[in-house]
């Protein structure tokens, strides 16, 4: 008898352990759901962790208002299937009430505005742990992130003063008003995620597979055309066959030209790709430490 797990099953076991640990250690956790593949994976793993019981926490979507309609449809269907409670924190609302101010210009993005709305929702819901689908391979500030990441009462991350994390022992103790961000899929890479989703045949929004769409090419990033995109004079709308490697705010999520219309083909494509998936995210390109800066302030 061979008592071995393949790497995907071992990652799965690690993530299930962490998700269960959250349910056991915290009073009021919430799962941050963006509609992207990582949060779909998180949802799937959470279903596994508590089967046959329901996932014992609600979902929170920070809605920039610039969503792919496909992603919203997928989100609502998934939530209905799970019988889960979905909380939507709206950036549109926050702009209307003056909590945040909309950026101006062609590269205006609502990405930064999400932080304030997220922190507000966490406070309103009195959530003491927010589960997220961030991975350490995404970005170098995330490479040093813990599974259980402590945040002070302002939601700030202190990268130099993180709690050491050893073995499978997770210290989720905190003072009143503080909370934790928990990242159960820290050790997965983009390729692991795709391989796992394919192995388990997890349904995904069609945005990830090759399709034709109206796009605008700006600074060599392919952006989906939509009412939210401020087009510069001379910018032309083209119809191309593309797919998305990440799904986020429509105005800053870049697509790639692709013919990969099945999960298997996507895996092959990723194996041969020489660019990181966040390479198409203009929000990360603002400076070398833009992710760290945003995280310190409480960004997810």
Judged by CB under 8 A, the chain residues 149 through 178 that form the site for another protein are 159-160, 162-169, 171, 173-175
CB 277 within 8 A of CB 139: no
63 is an interface residue for another protein by CB under 8 A:
no
Residue of 222, 223, 224, 250 that binds another protein (CB under 8 A):
222
10 binds another protein (CB under 8 A): yes
Q: Which helix (H) or strand (E) holds 224?
A: strand 221-224
For another protein, the closer CB: 33 or 196: 196
CB of 32 to another protein, least distance (A): 21
Among 38, 128, 137, 249, binds another protein (CB under 8 A): 137
Q: Which of residues 271-290 bind another protein (CB under 8 A)?
A: 271-276, 279-280, 288-289
Q: What is the DSSP letter of 18?
A: H
CB under 8 A, 24+ apart: contacts of 281-290: 281/246, 281/248, 281/252, 281/253, 281/254, 282/107, 282/109, 282/219, 282/221, 282/252, 282/254, 283/109, 283/111, 283/112, 283/249, 283/252, 284/139, 289/141
Using CA atoms, how far apart are residues 159 and 142, in angstroms rounded to an integer?
Answer: 10
Size of the site for another protein (CB under 8 A): 81
Could you tell me which residues are beta bridge partners of residue 131?
Answer: 31, 182
Among positions 77-106, residues that touch another protein (CB under 8 A) are none
> Which position among 220, 227, 233, 234 is part of the footprint of another protein (CB under 8 A)?
220
Asked if residue 269 binds another protein (CB under 8 A), the reply is yes
Near another protein by CB under 8 A: residue from 73, 211, 218, 265: 265
Residue closer to another protein, measured from CB, 174 or 181? 174
Q: Does 53 bind another protein (CB under 8 A)?
A: yes
């Amino acid at each position: 008898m061979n008592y071995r797990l393949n790497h995907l099953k071992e990652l799965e076991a690690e993530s299930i352990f962490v998700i269960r640990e959250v349910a056991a250690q915290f009073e009021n956790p919430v799962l941050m759901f963006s509609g992207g593949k990582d949060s779909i994976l998180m949802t799937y793993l959470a279903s596994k962790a508590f089967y046959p019981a329901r996932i014992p926490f609600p979902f929170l979507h920070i809605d920039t208002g610039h969503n792919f309609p496909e992603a919203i449809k997928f989100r609502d269907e998934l939530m209905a299937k799970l019988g889960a409670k979905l909380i939507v924190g709206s950036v549109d609302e926050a702009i209307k009430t003056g909590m945040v101010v909309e950026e101006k210009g062609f590269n205006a993005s609502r990405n930064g505005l999400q932080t304030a709305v997220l922190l507000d929702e966490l406070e309103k819901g009195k959530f003491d742990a927010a589960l997220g689908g961030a991975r350490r391979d995404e970005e170098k500030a995330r490479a040093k992130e813990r599974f259980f990441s402590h945040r002070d009462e302002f939601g700030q991350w202190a990268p130099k003063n993180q709690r050491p994390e050893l073995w499978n022992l997770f210290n989720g103790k905190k003072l009143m008003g503080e909370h934790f961000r928990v990242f159960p899929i820290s050790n997965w890479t983009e390729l692991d995620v795709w391989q796992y989703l394919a192995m388990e045949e997890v349904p995904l929004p069609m945005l990830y597979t090759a399709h034709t769409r109206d796009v605008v090419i700006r600074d060599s990033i392919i952006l989906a055309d939509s009412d939210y995109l401020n087009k510069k004079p001379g910018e032309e709308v083209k119809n191309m066959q593309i797919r998305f490697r990440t799904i986020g705010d429509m105005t800053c999520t870049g697509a790639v030209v692709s013919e990969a219309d099945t999960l298997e083909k996507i895996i092959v494509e990723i194996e041969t790709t020489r660019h990181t998936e966040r390479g198409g995210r203009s929000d990360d390109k603002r400076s070398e430490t833009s992710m760290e800066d945003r995280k310190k302030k409480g960004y997810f």
